[in-house]
Chain A
Amino acid sequence: MAEQEAARPIIIACRNVQKTFYLGERAVPAIKRVSLMIRAGEFVGIMGPSGSGKSTLLHLLGGLDRATGGTIRVAGRRLEDLSSDELARFRRETIGFVFQTFYLVPSMSALDNVALPGVFAGLPRDAREERAWRLLRAMGLTHRADHRPGQLSGGQQQRVAIARALFNDPPIVLADEPTGALDSRTGRRVMGLLRHLCDRWGKTILVVTHDPVVAGHADRILSLQDGYLIGDHAPETAEESDA
């Protein structure tokens, strides 16, 4: 299995990545000289206490924010070289985002929420709806297609959000505390779904969480503390060290 993994291409590579926020005059480093490599098809958990910089790292890898130092290569692109428009295109084509509180548009049906990325991709309406419909079917939600987010349970909303993340068929899915707003049973089902996307759909999955049980679904755990990458190991070890 190790050999098989080694054969997979590296899809994310960071070297000495830094991110410093400025609060007025005060510099607050959030990420300090982080270097890492992730291969295509890996399921990686990012753990650490709050304020350790794990969400910031996820934003940097997803092109939502720019690093203040170092280089980030994702799917063959150096993110620091991309213009604002190119970053938008990168996010559209390469990254699917899943958020803790789903971020569904409350006035749109589940189907329209799933199809929203297609609007910015310039996809015609018919093609958008057809693809969104297929994704809802994959999530077992076709019977909820016309429902507004407010009419759906938390688990259903997160599945709609995952379907939306998959809309442009990105190779990478970045999830920021995807189970944080769900009860533990529903959380497990969502993690099972992400696992399925990794195993069957071949997606590279990065999940930020502070819950070791959630992290247990990952192949590999990156531990952050105070902006430093302090561990890179299998989940069992992570659970032990956290326990």
Chain B
Amino acid sequence: MLLELFRLAVGNLLRARGRLVMTASGVLVGTTAVVLLLALTFGLQEAAEAGIGSAASLTEIQVYPGFSPRPEESREPAMLQLDDEAVARITALDGVAAVVPLLSVQTQISLASGKYRYYGQFVGVPPEAAPYLGLRVARGTFSLGPGEALVGASVGSFFVDPDAQTWEPVEVDVLAEGLKMRVYSSVEGREQAFDITISGVLRPGSGSFDGTVFLPLEDVIALNEWSSGNRLDPEERRYDYLLVRATSRETTRAVSEAIRELGYGTGGVGEFLDQLNSFFTTMRLMLGGIGGVALVVAAFGVANTMMMAILERTREIGLMKALGARDRDVLLIFLIESMLVGLSGGLAGLGAAYALQNAINGALTAMPQGQGGPGFLPFDLSQVGNRLIVIPPELALFAVLLAVLVGLGAGALPAVRAARLPPVVALQQE
């Protein structure tokens, strides 16, 4: 039955193709406006998030030593240190997936390949916690056994000859065998070379870790003790900072607050994401509203067309009722018609939006590149594949549904009027 009414409605629409095209064009323009403006906010948000760092950094919280919030309640020193107890307390918090303590090497240290050296940050992490750093290897394997190291993506590109006049960076294959680690001992007053195996090179874009050499925590402890000549009680151990991994983007902020509640300092971009998101939500509402005005105008167009159609087809409505159509059959026919106007306009509008998306993004790529992207944008578009306009599938679906709703909403009143026409009045209309 519904299918049959659908067929009738399609037939009716195709009878007045010109009007269908005109009316649907209004919906087309409105849908295109809404989709493009919202797609712009999605593109900007993607670019902004890419500027913040990798997706992993969004669940990342850095924890620093802090002051106890309630010194009078405890007899401990006011300064809260990052020791194993701190690691245990933070691990116990809700929404924490893992806590990675980072301990840096306390003496002069470098990687050595022949006469070339790499000076950078050397950090120890517990091998079992290392996967929670959110890093992945580009080459080699993600392994941090004793005597092994993982290096950031740019480490291999920044070896220098320390004896040269100017330090020209030299490319070194860090995965090659024979790499040494040279460590200075203040006890002995000289450097000593240790064997080291680089098990993997991390992918680029690891944020602040691109130049870091990761070592097993135990190795760093041993190096620090060897170079300083002091054995440290494990309880006295102080980490540089802790990297806390939240279970999801949504919990990041709550975890951050809980850690500050404990008295520690926190950092990381994850918790600013909320603010960023709410900014983009506001932007979406505003731009969506502007595009929505076009859709409202289109809705009036649809309503007007349906009113005209009902005036024109009054006798036909009477006839259908004489032939046994119920009020609701007539209602459905007209609702289906207006819905189809919305749907066709929405689909065409979405198609137009996709075409414009490709055109705009293409034009941006073709533009003379400033620092990694068109100069008038405050961020680097190349990080997100030069896409300023991004239409997520949800937006496409939403736009088409919205267009259908506009059609239905605009057609509702005319359809009810048509359904309520008394058959004899409709038949006598000239």
Q: Which residues of A are at the interface with B, using a C-beta cutoff of 8 A?
A: 59, 62, 64-65, 84-85, 88-89, 91-93, 95, 97, 99, 103, 105, 107-108, 116-117, 119-122, 125, 164, 168
Contact = CB atoms under 8 A, between A and B. Distances in A.
Given A64-B427, A99-B427, A103-B319, A88 B325 contact: yes
Contact of B327 (A88, A91, A95): A88
Interface in B1-23: 1, 4-5, 8, 11-12, 15
A120 B320 contact: yes
Query: Which 6 pairs show the lowest CB-CB distances between chains A and B?
Result: A92-B324, A65-B424, A117-B323, A88-B326, A120-B325, A64-B424
A47 to B, nearest CB: 20
A65 B422 contact: yes
Nearest to B430: A101
B325 to A, nearest CB: 4
A122 B8 CA distance: 13
A93 B324 CA distance: 8
Given A62-B322, A84-B327, A89-B324, 14 more contacts: A64-B321, A65-B422, A88-B324, A89-B326, A91-B324, A95-B322, A97-B323, A107-B11, A117-B324, A120-B320, A120-B326, A125-B4, A164-B323, A168-B324
B93 to A, nearest CB: 63
Nearest to A102: B319
Contacts of A120: 320, 323-326, 329
- Give the bracket for the number of chain B residues in contact with chain A: 20 to 34
Contacts of A85: 326-328
15 contacts: A59-B424, A64-B427, A84-B327, A88-B321, A88-B326, A89-B324, A103-B319, A105-B319, A108-B11, A119-B4, A120-B324, A120-B326, A120-B329, A122-B1, A164-B323
Q: Which of B315, B318, B324, B423 has the largest number of chain A CB atoms within 10 A?
A: B324
A204 to B, nearest CB: 17
Tell me what chain B mostly uses at the interface: helix, strand, loop, or mixed.
helix
A93 B12 CA distance: 25
A64 B316 CA distance: 14
Contacts of A89: 324, 326
**B5, B318, B320, B328: most-surrounded residue (chain A CB, <10 A):** B320
Contacts of B5: 119
Contacts of A119: 1, 4-5, 8
A122 B321 CA distance: 14
Contacts, number: 66
Contacts of B318: 64
Contacts of B324: 88-89, 91-93, 117, 120-121, 168
B291 to A, nearest CB: 36
Contacts of A88: 321, 324-327, 329
A99 B427 CA distance: 10
Nearest to A119: B4
Interface in B306-364: 315-316, 318-329
A10 B326 CA distance: 27
Nearest to B14: A107
A105 B423 contact: no
A91 B323 contact: yes
Contacts of B424: 59, 64-65
Interface in B270-322: 315-316, 318-322
B274 to A, nearest CB: 55
B80 to A, nearest CB: 77
B423 A65 contact: yes
Contacts of B1: 119, 122
A64 B319 CA distance: 10
Nearest to B15: A107
Contacts of A62: 322
Nearest to A65: B424
Contact of A64 (B326, B329, B423): B423
Contacts of A103: 315-316, 319, 427
A91 B424 CA distance: 12
Nearest to B313: A105
A85 to B, nearest CB: 5
A99 B429 CA distance: 13
A117 B326 CA distance: 11
A97 B322 contact: yes
A99 B1 CA distance: 26
Contacts of B326: 84-85, 88-89, 120
A21 to B, nearest CB: 10
Interface string B406-430: 0000000000000000111001000
Contacts of B12: 107
Interface in B226-272: none
> Looking at A59, A65, A120, A164, which has the most chain B CB atoms within 10 Å of its CB?
A120
Nearest to B3: A125
A91 B422 contact: no
Contacts of B8: 119
Contacts of A164: 323
Contacts of B422: 65
B92 to A, nearest CB: 66
Contacts of A64: 318, 321-322, 423-424, 427
Contacts of B315: 103
Contacts of B319: 103, 105
Nearest to A90: B324
Nearest to A66: B422
A65 B319 CA distance: 13
A119 B422 CA distance: 20
B316 A105 contact: yes
Contacts of A93: 324
A107 B13 CA distance: 11
Contacts of A91: 321-324, 423
B91 to A, nearest CB: 67
B387 to A, nearest CB: 46
A81 to B, nearest CB: 17
A64 B327 CA distance: 13
A172 B321 CA distance: 17
Nearest to B425: A65
Contacts of A125: 4
